[in-house]
């Protein structure tokens, strides 16, 4: 979508790095794990071109599921990983087990509903279980992942996904940090607002530090 392209461009400019968009296969025509496999291929290409220590990943919503699935697959294959990963309003529990799915989808100001999420999850997974670790990373062994940061809203339907990801990485002594806002918007970084600019600037600071790019305050 145009909003995601603009967001990627803005983040790339703030980081002072090349920004690559991941145009992976889409469900239901190409269900799980096609998008993950495409992302693995893109990572390997980027590693060869730039070197793993010079590559970071950023993703939002369902793209966070795909991105973490790719990282887990690379890790399990003994391959290099990226220097860091930044997630915005991540969807990492396709089983919809978090309490936030019930509380937030029931509120009148939320445009998202559990029914819609469940439909999208099934279209992506096909016959695969919705607790498959490569699709729902909260059920995965999260050891050995790159430093990770999450930005989200505490009013987001996927908020519990973010909390469970942070907790799971901390349990494996990994680096994970979370920042959240009181915004009613899902993936607020898509919008031209002060909150969006603040979030992207903070995300760029996190990624630049991991890349060793100068100019970080």
Helix (H, G, I), strand (E, B) or coil at 88: strand
Across all residues in the chain, what is the average pLDDT?
A: 92
Question: pLDDT-derived band of residue 217, with 50, 70 and 90 as boundaries?
Answer: very low
Question: pLDDT-derived band of residue 211, with 50, 70 and 90 as boundaries?
Answer: very high
* Number of residues that make up the chain: 217
Share of the chain above pLDDT 70, in %: 94
Per residue in 173-185, pLDDT tens?
Answer: 999 999 998 876 7
Question: Does residue 202 register a pLDDT over 50?
Answer: yes
pLDDT of residue 193: 84
pLDDT of residue 70: 98
Neighbours of 212 (CB within 10 A): 10
pLDDT of residue 4: 82
pLDDT of residue 110: 56
């Amino acid at each position: 979508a145009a909003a995601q392209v603009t967001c990627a461009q803005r983040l790339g400019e703030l980081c002072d790095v090349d920004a690559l968009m991941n145009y992976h296969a889409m469900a239901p025509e190409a269900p799980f794990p096609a998008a993950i496999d495409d992302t693995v291929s893109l990572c390997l290409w980027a590693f060869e071109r730039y070197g793993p220590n010079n590559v970071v990943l950023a993703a939002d919503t369902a793209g966070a599921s795909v991105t973490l699935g790719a990282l887990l697959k690379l890790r399990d294959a003994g391959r290099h990983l990226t220097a860091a990963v930044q997630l915005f309003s991540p969807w990492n529990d396709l089983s919809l087990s978090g309490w936030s799915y019930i509380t937030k989808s029931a509120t009148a100001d939320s445009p998202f509903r559990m029914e819609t999420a469940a439909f999208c999850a099934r279209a992506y997974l096909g016959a695969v279980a919705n607790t498959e670790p490569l699709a729902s990373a909260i059920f995965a062994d999260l050891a050995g992942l790159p430093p990770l940061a999450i930005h989200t809203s505490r009013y987001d339907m996927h908020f519990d996904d973010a909390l469970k990801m942070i907790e799971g990485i901390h349990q494996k002594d990994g680096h994970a940090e979370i920042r959240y806002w009181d915004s009613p918007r899902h993936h607020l970084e898509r919008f031209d607002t002060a909150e969006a600019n603040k979030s992207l600037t903070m995300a760029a600071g996190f990624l630049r530090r991991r890349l060793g790019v100068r100019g970080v305050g």
